[in-house]
Structure 1
């Protein structure tokens, strides 16, 4: 195994290289929520659906956007947030960013308006890699690894996220941010 691979930890971003060739992850940015010897669990941050959470959770009454977290188990709902003060059982991903928590408290806080789009994102499905699978994809240079912070994550629109992360990284990555989706059209 290549020991020069980028280091992936909880909170890392996996940025799809421009010509990945996988329609599930084209121009995607995946937040790694859990990474260990058994594998990796993440959520795609920039695949917005045209459905709101209130369309899939009947007792949630706010029109918060719903994202596709990945191709695995798209009948499951996941969320990240930055309000552990409102949600018990939250799992810290990085400073100021949390995954999961007490869902009854989520529904109550959303319905009361104390938990808004500025502080929570909902996802159907997730992205997952089995043992060694992500390392293999990193070796093939399918992903660029970076870090983020909660403010950038929640303040950057989904349609600008892939480019925004690369521009923020600077250098050669800033140039990659401007690559066309189809290089034949360049």
Structure 2
């Protein structure tokens, strides 16, 4: 298990029945005394980025759709980007881990041009109050595992939940093979 920290993933356990988070993988972007904030990585929407944020259409990675980042503020947008050069951190970029960070969508695109190797835009986010995410982990709602850059920019996120669990050491990898209804097993 990894500590609950920015740059780690929350992977929903079978115990988590909230429809907002069943079978989700959440990238934590900020964890502090006031709570935690992250985005759901495996919920693409059918809405093209070009339809709602036209100026960013050429900057986003495929698939060029908005992802449903979570139930909080679904009318707002949050972007996660990857630096093209780790030594060149542009205005409007806040590093989270490795070469990954949050991109301020109010930053003029020309200030970021050539600085990003990838960008994903999320409608809404997942948020937790002070100590809430740790309580949910302690009660068995989430597995906490390290993130990999490839998790964020997968072309097809359908099997992300299983693939993230499958690469974990020990018994945690076994959970990737659980049937949808264990009672039928």
Partner of 1:23: 19
The change in CA–CA distance for 1:54 and 1:124 in structure 2 (over 3 A counts) is same
Distance 1:152 1:142 in 2: 20
Deviations 1:65-119 (A, max 9, x none): 211110001011001010264842211110111112354444x599x8x688x71
Where does structure 1 lack aligned partners over 5 or more consecutive residues? none
The change in CA–CA distance for 1:151 and 1:119 in structure 2 (over 3 A counts) is same
- Of the three residues 99, 102, 105, the one matched with 1:99 is 102
The 8 Å contact of residues 6 and 138 in structure 1, kept in 2 or not, is answered as: no
The 8 Å contact of residues 87 and 101 in structure 1, kept in 2 or not, is answered as: no
Which residues in structure 2 correspond to 1:64-103 (within 5 Å)? 64-83=64-83, 85=88, 87-101=90-104, 103=106
Where does structure 2 lack aligned partners over 5 or more consecutive residues? none
Partner of 1:8: 4
The 8 Å contact of residues 78 and 104 in structure 2, kept in 1 or not, is answered as: no
Distance 2:42 2:16 in 1: 16
More strand by share: 2
The change in CA–CA distance for 1:37 and 1:61 in structure 2 (over 3 A counts) is closer
Distance 1:155 1:58 in 2: 22
Partner of 1:135: 134
Per-residue deviation, 1:184 = 4.0
Normalising by the residue count of structure 2, what TM-score does the alignment of the two structures yield? 0.84
Distance 2:143 2:82 in 1: 25
- Of the three residues 50, 57, 75, the one matched with 1:54 is 50
What count of residue pairs does the alignment treat as equivalent? Answer: 178
Distance 1:60 1:82 in 2: 15
Q: More deviation in 95-104 or 15-24? A: 95-104
Partner of 2:163: 164
Distance 2:89 2:52 in 1: 22
